[in-house]
């Protein structure tokens, strides 16, 4: 296991698994007495956005879900905080709005934040993160889009602690500062992109984390979700 059984962080309940279908699914199907962190060395059915799968080979990445119960922010904003916290720990990485961390134009980390309803109120926020750490053989169809942190002497325990520490620091910073820091790391701004089948120019991110764009007819858009690709 790349994360040690002694791993701890603040007051979080830590659940360290050898193997699981998906840490997000585990988080949804279990109750926790307090905020929790589910970490697995391997996922057999890692989930990505838009019902995609997330390739999670054994011992090659850190796959975790942070479960929060006091929900002050939207899934969008928690994603922004986590994306920034992770990107700051990966040298030369950039963020592709909203939740992909990119290194040399390939994806090194994906984030899937899901809120869970209980009755008619939100009871849990599950922030699932998969960070590809150590280089390994990947399926041919992923070779051109997936990469690894691959830093010499990388200690996954220390790396994960730094991410969590930064996440909680950002959680307590004012919103405008967080969005400004996110924008500085975001590669999506200042260019024509494709999102949800539309060609638009991405020019800003508002305080809710929406991507602000205009099209060639000067119509304005605020996207709250969507898959960004470069303009063809
Ligand atoms: C994406 O790239 O679309 C999001 C990927 C999120 C993957 C992480 S790995 C840990 C957690 N458990 C899952 O099943 N998915 C998230």
pLDDT digits over 127-153, tens only? 999 999 999 999 999 999 999 999 989
Q: Is residue 40 within 6 Å of ligand 1 at its C-beta?
A: no
- Model confidence pTM above 0.85: yes
pLDDT for res 103: 98
DSSP state, 47? B
* Per-residue model confidence (pLDDT) at position 119: 75
Q: What pLDDT does residue 231 have?
A: 66
Please check whether residue 138 is in contact with residue 158, taking contact to mean a CB–CB distance below 8 angstroms.
no
Within 13 Å of residue 35, how many CA atoms lie on the same side as its CB? Answer: 15
Q: Which helix (H) or strand (E) holds 117?
A: strand 106-118
pLDDT digits (tens, 9 = 90+) for 80-93: 999 999 999 999 99
Q: Which residues of the chain have pLDDT under 70?
A: 122, 231-232
Q: Is the beta carbon of 97 within 6 A of some atom in ligand 1? A: no
User: How far away, in angstroms, is 220 Cα from ligand 1 center?
Assistant: 31
Residue nearest (by alpha carbon) to ligand 1 atom 1: 48
pLDDT at 86: 98
Taking the C-alpha atoms of residue 177 and residue 26, their distance in angstroms, rounded to an integer, is: 33
């Amino acid at each position: 296991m790349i994360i040690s059984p002694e791993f701890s962080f603040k007051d979080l309940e830590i659940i360290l698994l050898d193997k699981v279908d998906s840490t997000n699914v585990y988080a949804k199907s279990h109750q926790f007495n307090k905020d929790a962190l589910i970490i697995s060395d391997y996922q057999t059915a890692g989930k990505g956005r838009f019902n995609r799968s997330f390739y999670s080979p054994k011992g090659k990445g850190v796959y975790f879900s942070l479960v929060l119960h006091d929900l002050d922010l939207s899934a969008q904003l928690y994603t922004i905080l986590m994306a920034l916290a992770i990107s700051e720990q990966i040298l030369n990485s950039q963020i592709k709005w909203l939740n992909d961390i990119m290194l040399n134009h390939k994806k090194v980390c994906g984030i899937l934040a899901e809120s869970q309803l209980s009755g008619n109120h939100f009871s849990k926020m599950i922030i699932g993160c998969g960070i590809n750490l150590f280089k390994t053989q990947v399926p041919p169809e992923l070779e051109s889009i997936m990469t690894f942190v691959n830093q010499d002497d990388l200690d996954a325990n220390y790396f994960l602690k730094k991410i969590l520490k930064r996440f909680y620091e950002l959680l307590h910073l004012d919103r405008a500062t967080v969005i400004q820091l996110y924008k500085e790391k975001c590669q999506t701004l200042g260019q024509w992109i494709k999102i949800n089948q539309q060609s638009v120019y991405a020019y800003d991110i508002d305080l809710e984390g929406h991507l602000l764009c205009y099209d060639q007819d000067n119509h304005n858009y605020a996207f709250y979700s969507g898959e960004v690709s470069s303009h063809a």
